[in-house]
Amino acid sequence: MCGIVAVVDTREMVSTDLIDRMRASIVHRGPDGGGTFTAQGRHFSVGLGAQRLSILDLSPAGMMPMPNEDESVWIVYNGEVYNHLAIRANLERRGHCYRSRTDTETVLHAYEEYGPDCFAMFNGIFACAIYDTRQERVVLARDRTGVKPLYYAEQAGQLVCASELKALASTDLVTPEVDPTALEIYLALGYVPAPYALLRGVHKL
């Protein structure tokens, strides 16, 4: 289990303090290390953060946020892609150079090679945020069965997302108020299905 956060802001530069505060609220998801990345693009700024639980590669090479070779694509990722070795072999044949043994890097290179179509290739449970400087876009993705959580909220030119609600509540964008519709669904079903979330103004990807 890892914890990821991401912020996109069309108004001003995303501060490292904001990303660090969001990460600190979910440090229990990744006690093996954390990292923050911020950048200003042409039309918006981006902040990515991660708390890492080391499993497939215990070395610093697996730290996140993780860039590709030329730092044109960045990823924060939580989960496991079970067929990552087979996908990695194909990507290496296509010329992609690896620096780690992580499935995180396979997701990164697969996106670099195939774009958002890459997610259909993965057999696993995952959630991720990818910043693509070439296309100037941020892509959020989650496994099809929704095992790994990813929540988001957006308003006034800003989007925030994270693995847990408490990370969103640590920002000024989300007020920690219960959404009565989501609560009603929870009491009826015993869980809250997407796109609902227990906090008002927050959605589950």
Edge-to-edge strand list for the sheet holding 66-67: 66-67, 73-81, 124-132, 137-142
For residue 34 the two structure tokens come to 């954390």
CA gap 174, 201 in Å, rounded? 7
Is 161 part of the annotated catalytic residue set? no
CA gap 25, 17 in Å, rounded? 13
The DSSP code sequence of 105-138 is HHHHHHHHHHGGGGGGG--EEEEEEEEETTTTEE
Catalytic residue from among 2, 118, 128, 161: 2
CA gap 200, 89 in Å, rounded? 44
Report yes or no: 131 and 48 within 8 Å, Cβ to Cβ: yes
Find the DSSP H helices in the chain.
16-24, 84-93, 103-114, 165-169, 180-189
Active-site amino acid positions? 2
